Amino acid sequence: MVRPISDLAGHPDIVELRARYDQVAETPAVRITDGVLALTGLYLAISPWVVGFTPFAANLAVNNLICGGAVALLASGFAVAYGRTHSLAWLPVVVGVWTIISPWVILRGFTTGGIIANNVVVGAIMIVLGLVAMRPAMVARRRQGGRFAGRGGGAGAGEPTPGTPR
């Protein structure tokens, strides 16, 4: 029998899984990581005015504003409801890689040292913090005991996997 999506929200396994993600995300190290990631995103958003991007780098300034705001919002989501946003923890890593290469892609190499240094340093920090932000989801899955990963007996607790005798 197929359950409607609304029934899945109250399913005990989903509720338990979200509770485990939230429990893992309550540690001080995770809170600090989320806060620093939010500040990194905010800095990236205002960096064109802090560093003093030249007028020919207006497109890169808009890029930094949008990417920085997105990372700050993601980090805020991680801090408030990690159980619901854990699947997006890889996005700061991708945005960090984009931040590093964006001066060459957007400005086609016509950049100054300050712009390059700003984006490379902020992008590297964002990659590291993004990888650290991904860790609680991996820890929660490991603590789950593999029940959803196929090690716990197939379709459900105590049920045999298909093809094995009862």
66: in domain: yes
> Nearest 10 degrees: CA dihedral of 113, 119, 121, 124?
-140
Residues 72-96 have pLDDT tens digits of 999 988 878 766 677 788 899 999 9
130: in domain: yes
Q: Do 26 and 83 touch, CB atoms closer than 8 A? A: no
Residue 144: what pLDDT? 58
- Looking at every residue in the chain, the average pLDDT score rounds to 77
Q: Would the pTM count as exceeding 0.85? A: no
CA 99, CA 112: separation in Å to the nearest integer? 15
How far from each other are the two terminal CA atoms of the chain, in whole angstroms?
22
4: in domain: no
5: in domain: no
| 13 pLDDT higher than 60 | yes
Owning domain of residue 101: 26-139
Residues 115-154 have pLDDT tens digits of 899 999 999 999 999 898 887 666 656 665 654 444 344 4
Q: Do 139 and 21 touch, CB atoms closer than 8 A? A: no
145: in domain: no
34: in domain: yes
Domains in the chain, number: 1
31: in domain: yes
105: in domain: yes
